[in-house]
């Protein structure tokens, strides 16, 4: 049947900011959905609060609302845009929850649900309804009971018996869930689950710890056609959230009979739940002792696993699900990769491994044990011909300093303990246990990982002993070792360990190449090469050799020939540019850099240049099959990048958009004469190396904080004492403020220098005077080597000392004079031209005692580039890419300059200079000496989102090391309104009335008293701890005194738990995580109380409250409306 014609305007709800459990995968699915709906002729309206997403580009949807995802704002958009239908299945739990809440309140009368109807969503998401549905169709479930109060929970616990799993309904990434081994743990987890569930419902079920866990990605259409897109096996047994588990596709340890049972059960479940126009994820557990299979849960929407399955198979689940949602059936949809019908189940002839990426180094006090609540920030995916190859490639993709099964510990008791405890490094401890002589049975008993996987790892570890000098001259041995996934770097390490042979990674590469051992590149094509593929989506593999020393069997030889025939040649008449992506999401390097990589690929397409995307992150838009002309899914290490460069011989390589990951390869790539375009490696080095940068700033005669350089701990003490405390300690070549610290004395310096020197990796450490209470600014600009465009100047809300990625920032600036802005523009242009930047550059400044100080220069894309692009309407990464491909920023004397890379037969529009080409909304002031946007008639506010609610025990204080996972954007016609919207979008909604808890550090009391007076004038009451209360009383400000935790009961914790605090303002000194402060902030997070930890943010909150009290915060305007204003 054709598409539905009874609907015309469709609202798509996005997932909001990147948080643990809800990341780039929903930008990927949402972008596919928007593109698909537009291609089918529908009018598409989008709401999403995350400016770093591709889906919120104004070029995609007809109207793009970068607004808080709330019921009131969505209702206003529905009325304003005359919405016919809503698609809530592409925006994760955020979209489903808000849509269901609105439906149940009667706010969606006359609106059609697409993708899944409300009944199906309720059955799939509500634990009680799901249980009843499963029992109705005869599915086996864990023994369980539901509870809505703590008393009911205790009754259930007594009935079922320990250990117990507690799961909360309608939550994200295992929120509110946990494992309880005793009654005290149970009470705590159950209470948290009831508070976390929006419907106060928890499921208490028997423990399945140690059972094997599987997932099925299923699609069903209105004609009851069902397919399994992919089976996924969790390497970690039940008890670890699937988002934190290593997963493998296809499932490897299922018997055919078990697989068919699971497949049939999946179809039955979708039919009963009522999903008939889209995709779902169904999770099962199997008892390895007796084969009992139980259903765990299902997601009636596109999920994190859907993105993985799409990338693993090449089957575009989100696109297909969108087409099903508007009336198509599976047999009417074509697979873009093969041209075959979407009703064909994908078939794959390779192994995919996903490993989650954690950032516990940012939160050293957080509990790093993995359990049913998700804790990972990102993930990597690797593809190989065998499990061994795939697994070791995935380890190399993590960017955690490992290049295979690196040694981690030699203490057998610690090894056993860490094998038993689920943690981010458990596989490394398993490998170490095997080296130390633990048997597979012993390791299995400790961790319950299936023995098949343990045998595979055991064979890898056993193969290590065969890596001797012989390998450098033995092609058969080299091929077999490489087929196990060993990196050249690991081979070099093992040669030194085994034979005391000091060879470099480069020497191993040379020997391997002389032996003719190079990877071949196969396609991900959904059909195991059964049909010709139309889009090059490639991975490397060496071969399939199962046992070291074993003669290759005839069957393996045959397989090798087949695979060789599938080795894809790289041929094109077009010039081509390779973009190196950012790898896994982690704090400090996330979706913002993927956004820039995607925009770069789009810009190359505009130029008629073939784009080659290189990345290993399955969540992202950059690794979608149609984002670039060619996609390589490979670890971002020198060995694999070099191999692709040798194969493709690109005319240009871009290392400036993927964050620190590709930048760290720049020197190595230059050493092999790779054609890096844009800003030179020399300029990157000047900016990244702290010593060279300090000299560069001095040469320009610019102000910089008093500083010195240290390579060793001893030098650091001398430098710091010469400058005077407090000092800021900053390593070289890091992102996200990794290991940066504000240090107040020698004792703290001693503690931090070991970590700082380890992270800096022999590069210099800069120690500079910390400018207390300075105003910080961020500037994003583009230079073509002759002219400079100032993309945007952002003022940080928080004072100096808090990482720019964690600080709220405003565009335009609010408190900076016109003369200072002009100085910033001149200085930025001076730096860009002196460094000979070609492309993007980010500069960080501080204003201290009315003087401008240069803090840092990054000649690359910054995490603020998407925010500035959305705020101004000028896509910075696209403009920068055009500049890097030998275009000027602006037309010179209205004559288009000759482009040396222009292709014959290509539309002449590609010759248009960069800013003119992308100035769609006429936003640029070309008359100024330094190019810049025209003044904005609105204010944009970027706010950060933190993972404190997911990481138990984490320090809740902010500093120079970044801790946020994502961001939101508030847009309004005034500063106060945009700040209010940014807080609402980040789930820190500022109240308009109520009681404020105030607890101030001594040095904040003077200004804090003045702010308290304003809060009282706005109608708030105040309670305060003793010191703050006394300061308020001395200044005749009415307040009540509240006890600290250590002072008795009832105290501030009790008052917060009872819901009596509307807003908390809690500032502290640099020992902020000690004693009462930590307990208070933990309770703030637990009870979701709006809070601020700096007076600068509290000061801005006053402006926001005035707007909330006097204007309609729920009024919504599309981004396109703002850009045209």
Average pLDDT for runs of 10 along the chain of length 1125: 91 95 92 97 98 97 98 98 97 93 96 93 87 94 90 92 88 80 91 87 89 96 95 96 96 95 97 90 95 92 89 93 95 83 91 96 88 92 97 97 96 97 97 98 97 98 97 96 97 97 96 95 74 76 59 29 46 87 94 97 97 97 94 98 97 96 95 96 89 91 90 83 87 61 83 66 78 93 96 94 92 97 98 97 96 94 97 98 94 48 46 88 89 96 91 80 94 97 96 96 91 97 95 96 90 93 87 69 90 93 95 95 95
Phi/psi at 516 (5° precision): 80, 20
Q: Residues within the annotated binding site for Mn(2+)? A: 283, 297, 299, 844, 856, 858
The pLDDT assigned to 125 comes to: 84
Q: What is the DSSP letter of 518?
A: -
Residues 152 and 175: their CA atoms lie apart, in Å, by 20
The pLDDT assigned to 528 comes to: 58
Residues 321 and 217: their CA atoms lie apart, in Å, by 12
C-alpha closest to that of 389 among 490, 288, 466:
490
Joined together, the tokens standing for residue 520 give 């071949």
The pLDDT assigned to 906 comes to: 43
Joined together, the tokens standing for residue 9 give 């305007």
Question: What separation in angstroms does the CA of 885 have from each of 660, 683, 893?
Answer: 22, 18, 21
Q: Residues within the annotated binding site for Mg(2+)? A: 283, 297, 299, 844, 856, 858
Residues 468 and 62: their CA atoms lie apart, in Å, by 62
> 102 with 96: CB under 8 angstroms?
no
The pLDDT assigned to 903 comes to: 43
The pLDDT assigned to 750 comes to: 80
> 482 with 512: CB under 8 angstroms?
yes
Phi/psi at 476 (5° precision): -65, -45
The pLDDT assigned to 905 comes to: 44
Q: What is the DSSP letter of 910?
A: G
Residues 719 and 685: their CA atoms lie apart, in Å, by 23
The pLDDT assigned to 624 comes to: 92
C-alpha closest to that of 923 among 912, 913, 935:
935
The pLDDT assigned to 1090 comes to: 96
CB-CB neighbours of 1116 under 10 Å: 25
State the sign of the Cα–Cα–Cα–Cα dihedral 879, 880, 883, 884. negative
Question: DSSP 3-state assignment of 403?
Answer: coil
State the sign of the Cα–Cα–Cα–Cα dihedral 504, 509, 510, 511. positive
The pLDDT assigned to 898 comes to: 44
Joined together, the tokens standing for residue 193 give 């689950």
Phi/psi at 10 (5° precision): -120, 130
Question: What separation in angstroms does the CA of 176 have from each of 170, 191, 356, 1051, 1079?
Answer: 10, 9, 21, 25, 19
Helix H or strand E encompassing 593: helix 591-606
The beta strand positions in 883-950, using DSSP E, are 924-925, 932-933, 939-945
Compute the CA torsion angle 76, 78, 82, 85 (nearest 10 deg): 180
Q: Residues within the annotated binding site? A: 127, 167, 174, 206, 208, 213, 239-241, 283, 297, 299, 730, 769, 771, 776, 801-804, 844, 856, 858
Q: What is the DSSP letter of 1004?
A: G
> 353 with 341: CB under 8 angstroms?
no
| Rama region for 635: left / alpha / beta (φ>0; ψ in -120 to 50; rest) | beta
> What domains lie within the chain, and their CATH numbers?
9-123 (3.40.50.20), 143-207 (3.30.1490.20), 576-675 (3.40.50.20), 686-701+772-933 (3.30.470.20), 706-770 (3.30.1490.20), 991-1089 (3.40.50.1380)
The pLDDT assigned to 573 comes to: 72
Chain centroid offset of residue 1058 CA: 35
The pLDDT assigned to 715 comes to: 84
| Rama region for 937: left / alpha / beta (φ>0; ψ in -120 to 50; rest) | alpha
Q: Residues within the annotated binding site for ATP? A: 127, 167, 174, 206, 208, 213, 239-241, 283, 297, 730, 769, 771, 776, 801-804, 844, 856
> 424 with 371: CB under 8 angstroms?
no
The pLDDT assigned to 546 comes to: 45
């Amino acid at each position: 049947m054709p598409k539905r014609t009874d609907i015309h305007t469709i609202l798509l709800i996005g997932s909001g900011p990147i948080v643990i459990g809800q990341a780039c995968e929903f930008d990927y699915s949402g972008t596919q959905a928007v593109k698909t709906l537009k291609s089918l002729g529908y009018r598409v309206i989008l709401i999403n609060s995350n400016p770093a997403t591709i889906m919120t580009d104004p070029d995609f949807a007809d109207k793009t609302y970068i607004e808080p995802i709330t019921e009131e704002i969505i209702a206003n958009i529905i009325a304003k845009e005359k919405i016919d239908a809503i698609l809530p299945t592409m925006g994760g739990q955020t979209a489903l929850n808000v849509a269901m809440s609105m439906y149940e309140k009667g706010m969606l009368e006359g609106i059609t649900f697409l993708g899944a109807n409300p009944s199906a969503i309720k059955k799939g998401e509500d634990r009680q309804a799901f249980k009843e549905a499963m029992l109705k169709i005869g599915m086996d479930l864990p023994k369980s009971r539901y509870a809505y109060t703590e008393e009911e929970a205790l009754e259930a616990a007594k009935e079922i018996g320990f250990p117990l799993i507690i799961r909360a309904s309608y939550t994200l990434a295992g929120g509110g869930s946990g494992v309880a081994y005793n009654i005290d743990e149970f009470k705590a987890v159950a209470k948290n689950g009831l508070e976390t569930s929006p419907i106060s419902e928890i499921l208490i079920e028997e423990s399945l710890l140690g059972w094997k866990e599987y997932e099925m990605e299923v699609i069903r259409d209105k004609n009851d056609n069902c397919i399994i897109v992919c089976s996924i096996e969790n390497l970690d047994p039940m008890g670890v959230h699937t988002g934190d588990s290593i997963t493998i596709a296809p499932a490897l340890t299922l018997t055919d009979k078990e697989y068919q049972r699971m497949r049939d059960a999946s179809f039955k479940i979708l039919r009963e739940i009522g999903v008939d126009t889209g995709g779902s994820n169904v999770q099962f557990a199997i008892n390895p002792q007796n084969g009992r299979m139980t259903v765990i849960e299902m997601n009636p929407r596109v999920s994190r696993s859907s993105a993985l399955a799409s990338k693993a198979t090449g089957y575009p689940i989100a696109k297909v699900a969108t087409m099903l949602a508007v009336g198509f059936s599976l047999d009417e949809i074509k697979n873009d990769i093969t041209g075959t019908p979407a009703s064909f189940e994908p078939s794959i002839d390779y192994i995919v491994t996903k490993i989650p990426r954690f950032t516990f180094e940012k939160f050293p006090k957080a509990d790093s044990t993995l359990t049913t609540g998700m804790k990972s920030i990102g993930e990597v995916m690797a593809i190989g011909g065998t499990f061994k190859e795939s697994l070791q490639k995935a380890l190399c993709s993590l960017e955690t300093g490992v290049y295979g099964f690196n040694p981690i510990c030699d203490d057998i008791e610690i090894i056993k303990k860490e094998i038993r405890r689920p943690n981010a490094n458990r596989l490394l401890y398993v490998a170490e246990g095997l080296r130390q002589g633990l048997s597979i049975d012993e390791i299995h008993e400790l961790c319950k990982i299936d023995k098949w996987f343990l045998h595979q790892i055991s064979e890898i570890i056993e193969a290590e002993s065969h890596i001797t000098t012989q390998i450098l001259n033995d092609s058969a041995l080299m091929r077999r070792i490489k087929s196990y996934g060993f990196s050249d770097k690991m081979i070099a390490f093992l040669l030194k360990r085994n034979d005391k042979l000091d060879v470099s990674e480069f020497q191993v590469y040379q020997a391997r190449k002389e032996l003719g051992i190079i990877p071949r590149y196969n396609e991900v094509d959904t059909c195991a090469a059964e049909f010709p593929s139309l889009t090059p989506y490639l991975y490397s593999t060496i071969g399939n050799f199962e046992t070291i020393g074993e003669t290759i069997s005839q069957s393996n030889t045959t397989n090798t020939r087949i695979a060789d025939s599938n080795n894809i040649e790289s041929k094109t008449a077009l010039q081509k540019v390779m973009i190196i992506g950012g790898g896994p999401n982690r704090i400090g390097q996330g979706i913002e850099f993927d956004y820039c990589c995607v925009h770069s690929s789009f810009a190359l397409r505009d130029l008629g240049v073939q784009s080659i995307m290189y990345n290993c992150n399955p969540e992202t838009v950059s690794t979608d099959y149609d984002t670039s002309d060619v996609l390589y899914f490979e670890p971002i290490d020198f060995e694999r990048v070099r191999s692709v460069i040798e194969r493709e011989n690109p005319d240009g390589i871009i290392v400036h958009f993927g964050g620190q990951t590709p930048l760290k390869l720049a020197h190595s790539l230059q050493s092999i004469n790779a054609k890096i375009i844009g800003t030179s490696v020399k300029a990157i080095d000047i900016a990244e190396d702290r010593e060279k940068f300090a000299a560069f700033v001095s040469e320009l005669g610019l102000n910089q904080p008093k500083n010195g350089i240290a390579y060793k701990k001893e030098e650091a003490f001398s430098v710091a004492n010469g400058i005077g405390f407090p000092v800021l300690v900053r390593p070289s070549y890091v992102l996200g403020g990794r290991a940066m610290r504000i240090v107040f004395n020698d004792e703290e310096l001693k503690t931090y220098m070991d970590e700082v020197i380890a992270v800096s990796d022999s590069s210099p450490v800069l120690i500079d005077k910390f400018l207390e209470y300075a105003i910080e600014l961020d500037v994003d600009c583009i230079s073509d080597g002759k002219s400079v465009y100032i993309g945007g100047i952002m003022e940080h809300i928080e004072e100096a000392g808090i990482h720019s990625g964690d600080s709220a920032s405003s565009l335009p600036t609010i408190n900076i004079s016109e003369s200072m802005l002009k100085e910033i523009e001149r200085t930025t242009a001076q730096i860009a031209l002196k460094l000979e930047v070609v492309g993007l550059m980010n500069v960080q400044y501080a204003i201290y005692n009315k003087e401008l100080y240069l803090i840092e220069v990054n000649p690359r894309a910054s995490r603020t580039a998407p925010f500035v692009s959305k705020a101004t309407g000028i896509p910075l990464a696209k403009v920068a890419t055009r500049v890097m491909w030998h275009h000027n920023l602006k037309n010179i004397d209205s004559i288009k300059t000759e482009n040396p890379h222009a292709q014959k037969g290509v539309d002449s529009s590609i010759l248009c200079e960069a800013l003119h080409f992308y100035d769609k909304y006429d936003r640029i002031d070309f008359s100024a000496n330094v190019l810049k946007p025209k003044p904005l008639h609105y204010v944009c506010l970027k706010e950060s989102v933190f993972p404190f609610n997911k990481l138990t025990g984490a320090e809740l204080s902010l500093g120079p090391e970044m801790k946020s996972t994502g961001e939101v954007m508030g847009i309004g016609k005034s500063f106060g309104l945009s700040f209010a919207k940014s807080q609402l979008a980040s789930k820190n909604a500022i109240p308009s009335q109520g009681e404020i808890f105030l607890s101030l550090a001594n040095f904040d009391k003077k200004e804090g008293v003045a702010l308290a007076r304003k809060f009282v004038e706005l109608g708030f009451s105040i309670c305060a701890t003793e010191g703050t209360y006394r300061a308020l009383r001395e200044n005749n400000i009415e307040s009540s005194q509240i006890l600290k935790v250590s002072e008795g009961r009832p105290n501030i914790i009790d008052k917060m738990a009872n819901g009596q605090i509307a807003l908390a303002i809690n500032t502290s000194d640099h020992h902020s995580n000690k004693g009462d402060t930590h307990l208070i902030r933990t309770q703030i997070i637990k009870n979701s109380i709006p809070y601020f930890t700096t007076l600068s943010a509290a000061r801005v909150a006053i402006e926001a409250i005035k707007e909330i009290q006097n204007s309609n915060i729920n009024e919504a305007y599309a981004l396109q409306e703002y850009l045209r204003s």
